[in-house]
Structures are given as structure tokens and as C-alpha cells.
């Protein structure tokens, strides 16, 4: 259906049909949820042997008793394994607690309040601090900035990553821009993978911006491909080393969507100098991470091969769910002017762009038909999508059957909202 080319009469007929379909859906009193990027229980089952895997042996390779205090940055064997996910050296790796969000919050908060190289370097000293936010993006990144009073500047993305001409000229023009949020592989929510050129240009930002600028590289889906052919991401730290900007990049990851969400490990890759300063402040707020859980994870995976084999089991469980969402989008909108979407090869989301001005209305319609969608605007700083068109779909958690039901509702809601708008 191309509603821009349809006659008023055709649109009225469509509308009547869609209103009828919507009423039928409402009468079914559904209760479905497509909001959260969280693993389904079959995925979680893959890691059930974690509890008990230590069989009473709590010693790390170097003799550390993981049950006791000590070690602010994690055990050596966890660094050795997860540094490979981050793409940094083990000496550039910190293994934290259960949330990379915490490491990111701390990184920004410490830099802002306490400085990246001592008190004098605190961002807060320099006036109104700003961050670049490629959009659509991840609401929890934006939450960190809001919490700390850091102003956010949205930057558009295409299928290669943030528009780097814009990024570079903004950074050149304003020394109060201290960082940029990136989800570089299977970006949340568009699923795109940053191109090699974009990665290289991001590594060079440290030479354009001031010394205290930091790239917040949230590689949350580093190993979360849906198939073997998914595009690879260039190594940011390697690029930074080439350009002498190692201190300008902070790389994050976790096993939240690898083992147990909330009971996994978070990790951070950073230059040794950055880690040294980070740990000074970290040590004021914690006695160290849960080393027992780190030991469990290392024993569970063995090595990087073991980890990647584990991830292919996740892909087997996730692929059909993504396919179902995409099939409905294809059937509903491929031959239309009602919306566009991404076909991600990994990650946890499908991003749908409706006709401008309709995202909120579609989410409302779906909600009133018993289908919960991520609030419109959530993928933009301050919750404000300037075109009110982006909707994030999260297919990982519901059953295939529920996804099919949800997407039927979604399709009707998009069409209904679009035709109503056109006629109004």
C-alpha cells in the first residue's frame, strides 16, 4: 500500500477495514510484551551448569583464593579470556561486577567529577559538558548523561555508523564535547556494524578533541552474531594505537547476554594509564568484584573457542525470532510507503521507522490492544525523537507464537495510524 498515491476513496475503504481489524484485536484482550532486550529462558538454560562448576575449588591459577578480599580489577584468567572479546591486551583489561552499565557510569562520573588525570582534569571544571549521541541509540547511555547533567547532542547515523563529518566538525568546534556513545557492532537499536573507516575515524577523534575526550565504546554485542557471515568490527584499540590515541578510548562488554543477565561479568578495556586512574577512584567505592563468579565463567567457557561455540547456540535460538519479526515487516510493508526497517545480523533489536509523527501513536494503539512496545522516543536523548518515527522491536524474549501475534498487531497499528494521519 502506497498511501501517498492512494485516492481518498481507497484510503477510506482501507481505514474501515483497519478499524475493523483493530477492534477484533482489541476484543482478543492480548497481553504481550516486545519491549525488553533480554534473553529467553532457553538461552539462559545454556548456562545452567555455571552454579556448581567449581566443585569446591576456589583457587585462581596464580593461587589467589577467590573467596577472599583483594584484586580490584579481576582475576588474571578472566582478563586473558575477555580481553580477546574487547580486543585489547590483558594488561589493558579490568573485569568488574555484573553490569557494564556500572563501569560506564563510573567512567563518566569519575571523569566528570574527579578527573581523568587527577582533580584538575575533572570535566566539571570546564563548564557545561556535552556528549555526542549517535541516534537512534541506547536509553541507558542517555540516562547516565542526564543523571550527571551532561548535555547531549544527537548525531545521525547511516548504515556505516555515525556521520563522521558531522562528528568531527562538532568535536573541532566545541572543546566542551568530552565524549561520544557508540554501540559499534549490531548497534542498539539499528543493528548496523560500524565500517572500518568509521572505526578508524573514531580512533582519530582523540587527536582532534582535547586530552580528556573519551570514546565510550559499548561493544555490548561483540560476539552476538545471528550467523557466521555477520560483518566483523574493526579493532578500535589497534586503530587507536596506530594514531597514538589509546587514552581516548574506553571499551566495554559483558556476559549479560552470554550467560545470565544480571549474574554475569562486565569488563572494560582501556590503556594502562587510564586503568590506573580509574582504579584509584574505583577503590573508594568497592572492595573489588566477585572473583568467585569470574572463576566460574572462566571454567565454564575454557577459552575463546568455547565462548564462541556457546554464542552459536544463542544464535540458533534467536535467529527464528528475528526471522519472524522480519517476515511480518516484509509482508506488511515491503511494497509500501508506511515504514522502513533494518535487517540486523546480530544484536537484540530490529529498528522500525514509521512515517514521521506516528511512533507515539503506534505505540499507544498497540498498548491499547494489549501489546507493549518500547516507548516511542526511548532511543533518543531526553526521550525526544524529533521526527517521532523510530520504534525499537525486541524479539529475543517472547515465544515465536507470541512474536507472531505481536507483529500482527503491530502491522495493523502501523497501517491504521498511517491511514488516519493521511486522511486527517
Binding of a copy of itself by 128 (CB under 8 A): no
Which residue, among 61, 52, 54, has the nearest Cα to 81 in the 3D structure? 61
Among 15, 163, 170, 292, binds a copy of itself (CB under 8 A): 292
CB 203 within 8 A of CB 182: no
Which residue, among 412, 369, 302, 384, has the nearest Cα to 30 in the 3D structure? 369
Binding of a copy of itself by 256 (CB under 8 A): yes
Among 76, 78, 86, 101, binds a copy of itself (CB under 8 A): 101
Part of the chain binding a copy of itself (CB under 8 A), chosen from 109-117, 215-223, 338-346, 367-375: 109-117
Alpha-carbon span 66 to 188, nearest angstrom: 35
Name 241's Cβ contacts closer than 8 Å, sequence gap at least 6.
Answer: none
Binding of a copy of itself by 125 (CB under 8 A): no
Query: Using CB under 8 A as the criterion, what x/- string covers residues 272-291 for binding a copy of itself?
Result: ---------x-xxxxxxxxx
Residue nearer to a copy of itself on the CB measure, 66 or 155:
66
Binding of a copy of itself by 63 (CB under 8 A): no
Which residues are bridge partners to 154 per DSSP? 133
Among 67, 276, 327, 384, binds a copy of itself (CB under 8 A): 67
CB 248 within 8 A of CB 281: no
Residue nearer to a copy of itself on the CB measure, 97 or 137:
97
Which residue, among 78, 120, 74, 123, has the nearest Cα to 97 in the 3D structure? 74
Kindly state the smallest distance separating residue 121's Cβ from a copy of itself, in Å.
15
Among 6, 89, 143, 241, binds a copy of itself (CB under 8 A): 143
- Residue 374 CA, chain-centre distance (Å), reads 14
Among 5, 9, 31, 41, binds a copy of itself (CB under 8 A): 41
Which residue, among 287, 313, 339, 319, has the nearest Cα to 400 in the 3D structure? 319
Binding of a copy of itself by 58 (CB under 8 A): yes
Q: How far is CA 376 from CA 187, 270, 373, 422, in A?
A: 18, 34, 8, 20
List residues near a copy of itself by CB under 8 A.
36, 38-39, 41, 44, 47-48, 51-56, 58, 65-70, 97-99, 101-102, 105-106, 109, 113-114, 140, 143-144, 146-147, 256, 260-263, 281, 283-293, 296
Amino acid at each position: 500500500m502506497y498511501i501517498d498515491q492512494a485516492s481518498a476513496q481507497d484510503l477510506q475503504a482501507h481505514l474501515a477495514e483497519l478499524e475493523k481489524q483493530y477492534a477484533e484485536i482489541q476484543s482478543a484482550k492480548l497481553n504481550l510484551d516486545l519491549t525488553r532486550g533480554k534473553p529467553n529462558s532457553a538461552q539462559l538454560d545454556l548456562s545452567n551448569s555455571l552454579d556448581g562448576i567449581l566443585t569446591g575449588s576456589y583457587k585462581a591459577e596464580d593461587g589467589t583464593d577467590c573467596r577472599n578480599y583483594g584484586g580490584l580489577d579481576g582475576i588474571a584468567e578472566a582478563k586473558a579470556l575477555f580481553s580477546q572479546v574487547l580486543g585489547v591486551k590483558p594488561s589493558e583489561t579490568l573485569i568488574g561486577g555484573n553490569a557494564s552499565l556500572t563501569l560506564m557510569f563510573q567512567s563518566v562520573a569519575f571523569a566528570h567529577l574527579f578527573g581523568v588525570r587527577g582533580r584538575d582534569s575533572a570535566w566539571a571544571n570546564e563548564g557545561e559538558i556535552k556528549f555526542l549521541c549517535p541516534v537512534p541509540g541506547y536509553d541507558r547511555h542517555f540516562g547516565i548523561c542526564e543523571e550527571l547533567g551532561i548535555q547531549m547532542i544527537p548525531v545521525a547515523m547511516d548504515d556505516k555508523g555515525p556521520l563522521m563529518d558531522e562528528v568531527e566538525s562538532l568535536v573541532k568546534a566545541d572543546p566542551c564535547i568530552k565524549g561520544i556513545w557508540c554501540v559499534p557492532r549490531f548497534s542498539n537499536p539499528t543493528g548496523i556494524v560500524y565500517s572500518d573507516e568509521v572505526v578508524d575515524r573514531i580512533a582519530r577523534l582523540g587527536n582532534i578533541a582535547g586530552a580528556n575526550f573519551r570514546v565510550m565504546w559499548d561493544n555490548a554485542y561483540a560476539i552476538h552474531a545471528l550467523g557466521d557471515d555477520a560483518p566483523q568490527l574493526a579493532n578500535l584499540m589497534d586503530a587507536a594505537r596506530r594514531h597514538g590515541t589509546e587514552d581516548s578510548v574506553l571499551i566495554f562488554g559483558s556476559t549479560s547476554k552470554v550467560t545470565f543477565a544480571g549474574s554475569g561479568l562486565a569488563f572494560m578495556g582501556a590503556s594502562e594509564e587510564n586503568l590506573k586512574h580509574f582504579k584509584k577512584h574505583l577503590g573508594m567505592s568497592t572492595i573489588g568484584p566477585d572473583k568467585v563468579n569470574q572463576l566460574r565463567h572462566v571454567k565454564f567457557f575454557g577459552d575463546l573457542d568455547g565462548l564462541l561455540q556457546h554464542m552459536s547456540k544463542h544464535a540458533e535460538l534467536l535467529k527464528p525470532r528475528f526471522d519472524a519479526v522480519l517476515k511480518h515487516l516484509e509482508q506488511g510493508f515491503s511494497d509500501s510507503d508506511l515504514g522502513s526497517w533494518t535487517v540486523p545480523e546480530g544484536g537484540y533489536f530490529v529498528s522500525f521507522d514509521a512515517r514521521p509523527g506516528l511512533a507515539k501513536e503506534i505505540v499507544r494503539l498497540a498498548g491499547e490492544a494489549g501489546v507493549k512496545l518500547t516507548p516511542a522516543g526511548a532511543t533518543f536523548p531526553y526521550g525526544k525523537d524529533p521526527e517521532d518515527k523510530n520504534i525499537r522491536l525486541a524479539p529475543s524474549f517472547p515465544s515465536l507464537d507470541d512474536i507472531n501475534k505481536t507483529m500482527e498487531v503491530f502491522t495493523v497499528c502501523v497501517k491504521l495510524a498511517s491511514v488516519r494521519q493521511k486522511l486527517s
